[in-house]
Structure 1
């Protein structure tokens, strides 16, 4: 089989994501006939049909579905190789750490302080990430990242859990649920949801800025279900009510599996030590205890 070029994979992915040759060609800056010809050439060389084409729509075949997943991985790996080679060529090593603002559960400063004492430590560049951090790990924009499950998909990554904590609903004081002592996820069905890495079940509007999330919630346009550590850092005049059946938010340090970097290994060691110390000094922490009726919602 002739070697498949990354350019061909990029063309294929563009069409697969748009499911429209015209829109994909426009996004790539190509003429549509040239894009169609390139995809047909790829199909001939692979000896499979990647798209079912009609006059009304374009759909992926089973072979196309498989190739889409693999092509995304391959393109990310190529991008990562190029970025890491460029960084190595500059001769000044550093570690790129992607984190969502306000999403470190108060542990990042302690982790970095511990990390700086390791002989393998290099300078850390914090990369504020308002987007999904998982692709940043795969394509080389980040060496390590702080993720929250169940919101982020950490499949295919190596991870170290730093903290697990409950989640609470953030509500305006006038909301009909604001005077409840506890809530369940079923109570929030049908509510407009503002998602700051906060509520994976019913879609909703992704809000990447906490200040905006507070404004939207205060106006009654959305509710949010957030980790306790995030809510504790916010100054607000809203009400928080524990959601007792929400899966705990788990803060993970994540990095690409098989990373050979001694600096990454040093950061993982530091994170593991800090997390263990946090757990040992917070044995009375109620963060994962079911909330009882005596626990009242909090407003500021």
Structure 2
């Protein structure tokens, strides 16, 4: 088995990406002769030629291309392992929770209070995400946990617990033909113009006429007031109610769920304690 040093691999990857000794050396903040020596030593250790060199040209051999591909993954894995170790060993680590503004169904204060009572509680940093990017915050490590809405948000790679299940309401202009109804069905809305939520897959709402693309509730409210669209939203996301609009329950629309989500690979006590606080406090229902 050939022993590779992380530093040598970093040097090679930088050179393979730049294909220029001067630029790679500057990127690594080392002298060019030191970089050349390190790459020659790596070739000798592996017993293969990684680069084709000339006075004007540097190119990867097939072996070099293979090492670049796998070397990137190896360096990313080393960096991730170090980051996870730091997180696990940091007793002062904060828990980062990403939410959509107003997207907590009035449950967040109770959840935070329940967590604060735990002996291992840490400071909770609240991050605000957009309508569709909060799951990505958890997947790429910007946040530890998230409040998401199913089936709107993509749960790929995430575990979750349901906080609340709620029905949906239609939001209409006051002069809309359906505004006088006490409640509505999906069939009533079948011919209505509905907004297209940026980055959101089909959610079980009626498939009406294709409307404008939107990314947040404020945009939807403005377009409804202008008579350009109507919308079907989870009940909690339809608050606060605007005085120029009417809100009617859609009796047969699929329920939506507010969920607490975290990465499937995250087994840190920091995250487990936060989820346990919600379970023990009876916040989940």
Q: So what's the TM-score if we normalise by structure 1?
A: 0.60
Over 3 Å counting, the alpha-carbon distance change for 1:187 and 1:269 in structure 2 is same
Matches within 5 A, 1:49-88: none
Q: Per the alignment, in what secondary structure is the counterpart of residue 279 of structure 2?
A: helix
The residue that corresponds to 1:179 in the other structure is 180
The residue that corresponds to 2:275 in the other structure is 268
Over 3 Å counting, the alpha-carbon distance change for 1:92 and 1:244 in structure 2 is same
- Preserved contact between residue 195 and residue 214 of structure 2 (Cα < 8 Å): no
The residue that corresponds to 1:241 in the other structure is 248
- Preserved contact between residue 167 and residue 249 of structure 1 (Cα < 8 Å): yes
The residue that corresponds to 2:103 in the other structure is 103
Matches within 5 A, 1:219-258: 219-258=226-265
Matches within 5 A, 1:1-300: 92-130=92-130, 131-180=132-181, 181-184=183-186, 187-193=189-195, 195=197, 200=203, 205-274=212-281, 276=282, 279=285
Q: Per the alignment, in what secondary structure is the counterpart of residue 155 of structure 1?
A: coil
Instruction: Kindly state the Cα deviation for residue 158 of structure 1 after the two structures are TM-superposed.
Output: 1.1
Stretches of structure 1 that go unaligned for 5 or more consecutive residues are: 12-36, 47-72, 280-300
Counterparts of 2:105 and 2:83, CA distance in 1 = 29
Q: Per the alignment, in what secondary structure is the counterpart of residue 96 of structure 2?
A: strand
Counterparts of 1:119 and 1:226, CA distance in 2 = 38
- Cα deviation digits, residues 14-51 of structure 1 (max 9, x gap): xxxxxxxxxxxxxxxxxxxxxxx99xx79x859xxxxx
Counterparts of 1:199 and 1:258, CA distance in 2 = 27
- Preserved contact between residue 198 and residue 225 of structure 1 (Cα < 8 Å): no
- Preserved contact between residue 150 and residue 249 of structure 1 (Cα < 8 Å): yes
Q: So what's the TM-score if we normalise by structure 2?
A: 0.63
Over 3 Å counting, the alpha-carbon distance change for 1:179 and 1:253 in structure 2 is same
Instruction: Kindly state the Cα deviation for residue 215 of structure 1 after the two structures are TM-superposed.
Output: 1.3
- Preserved contact between residue 168 and residue 241 of structure 1 (Cα < 8 Å): yes
- Preserved contact between residue 79 and residue 139 of structure 1 (Cα < 8 Å): no
Counterparts of 2:218 and 2:127, CA distance in 1 = 19
User: Which segment is superposed worse, 159-168 or 218-227?
Assistant: 218-227
Stretches of structure 2 that go unaligned for 5 or more consecutive residues are: 1-9, 18-58, 68-72
Counterparts of 1:185 and 1:74, CA distance in 2 = 54
Q: Per the alignment, in what secondary structure is the counterpart of residue 118 of structure 1?
A: coil
Instruction: Kindly state the Cα deviation for residue 167 of structure 1 after the two structures are TM-superposed.
Output: 0.3
Work out the number of aligned pairs and report it: 221
Instruction: Kindly state the Cα deviation for residue 207 of structure 1 after the two structures are TM-superposed.
Output: 3.0
Instruction: Kindly state the Cα deviation for residue 95 of structure 1 after the two structures are TM-superposed.
Output: 0.9
- Preserved contact between residue 172 and residue 238 of structure 1 (Cα < 8 Å): yes
Counterparts of 2:243 and 2:217, CA distance in 1 = 11
Instruction: Kindly state the Cα deviation for residue 89 of structure 1 after the two structures are TM-superposed.
Output: 9.4
